């Protein structure tokens, strides 16, 4: 199972991935996090052990079409509390990140075969959509704030995914797509209803609201890891994320999560 986040910069993609990791740690589930953002901060939020990034591992090689299993294992950083993390990283020379992106995609395929759950945090934009890095995603999560701009980015992302499927003649992604909006609005409020209407207007899935969290914001401002997931003392943000995973049966490995239903607030990519 691969859960990948996409969306505009600064809307909470990394926080969501780190929160999902904390939830999996509390459940004792084996998982891996792939930070596919060249300057990603998931490692900081999860207090990951420092390991070289993919970009650093290939910096001295003239040409390498794939990382060996041994190389991938050396790059996997243990996470306190359980799980491992692989970082794509960035190089310090002229040129695009094409090579690092390609090797990350190939490494992701191997990791997905070794861990029952893989969480992937993407950089802002469509790079990993058009490159196909997220093609294996069983759950593609569009993350936005309540601004029109962030929801337009989500619309553009979903349109791009559908266009790639239609133009290639092959499925570039097979899973469900969800929309999570970070906001101070509450479920059932007029603001929530307005966001729902806007999502419908933009042909997006009906949104689930993620509450802003002062505790999480303070932790991030200080560069401190996110709190652990404690069953009797959950932050409101954690509670909503946990409820969302349960309502959509995301971590139980059943295909029912990919079928439209009255419970699953998702839409098929095709």
pLDDT number for residue 145: 92
Partners of 84 in beta bridges: 32, 78
Express each pLDDT in 76-113 by its tens digit. 999 999 999 999 887 666 667 777 778 888 888 889 88
Closest CA to 152 of 161, 137, 142, 140: 142
pLDDT number for residue 17: 96
- The domain spans of the chain are 2-268
For tokens 């042909």, the residue is 203
Task: Supply the DSSP symbol for 207.
Answer: P
240 versus 134: which is more confidently predicted? 240
Which two three-digit tokens encode residue 76? Answer: 């996997």
Express each pLDDT in 32-90 by its tens digit. 999 988 888 899 999 999 898 888 887 766 565 667 888 888 899 999 999 999 998 87
Q: Please provide the CATH number assigned to the domain covering 2-268.
A: 3.40.50.300
Is the model's pLDDT at 189 over the cut of 70? yes
Task: Supply the DSSP symbol for 72.
Answer: H
**Ramachandran region, residue 236 (left: φ > 0; alpha: ψ -120 to 50; beta: rest):** alpha
């Amino acid at each position: 199972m691969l859960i990948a986040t996409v969306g505009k910069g600064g809307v909470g993609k990394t926080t969501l991935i780190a929160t999902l990791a904390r939830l999996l740690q509390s459940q004792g589930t084996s998982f891996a996090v792939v930070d596919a953002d060249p300057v990603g901060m998931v490692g900081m939020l999860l207090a990951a052990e420092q390991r070289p990034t993919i970009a650093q591992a290939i910096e001295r090689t003239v040409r390498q079409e794939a990382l060996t299993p041994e190389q991938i294992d050396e790059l996997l950083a243990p996470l306190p509390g359980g799980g491992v993390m692989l970082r794509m990283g960035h190089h310090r020379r002229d040129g695009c990140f094409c090579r690092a992106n390609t090797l990350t995609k190939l490494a992701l395929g191997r990791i997905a075969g070794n861990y029952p759950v893989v969480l992937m945090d993407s950089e802002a934009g469509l790079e990993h959509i058009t490159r196909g890095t997220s093609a294996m995603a069983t759950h593609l999560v569009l993350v936005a704030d309540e601004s029109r701009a962030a929801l337009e980015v989500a619309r553009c992302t979903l349109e791009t995914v559908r266009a790639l499927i239609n133009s290639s003649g092959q499925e570039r992604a097979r899973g469900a797509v969800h929309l999570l909006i970070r906001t101070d609005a509450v479920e059932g409020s007029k603001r929530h209803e307005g966001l729902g209407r806007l999502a419908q207007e933009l042909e997006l899935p009906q949104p689930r609201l993620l509450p802003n969290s002062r505790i999480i914001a303070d932790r991030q401002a200080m560069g401190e890891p996110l709190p652990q997931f404690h069953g009797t003392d959950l932050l409101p943000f954690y509670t909503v994320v946990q409820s969302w995973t349960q309502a959509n049966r995301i971590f139980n490995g059943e295909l029912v999560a990919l079928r439209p239903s009255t419970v699953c607030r998702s839409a098929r990519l095709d």
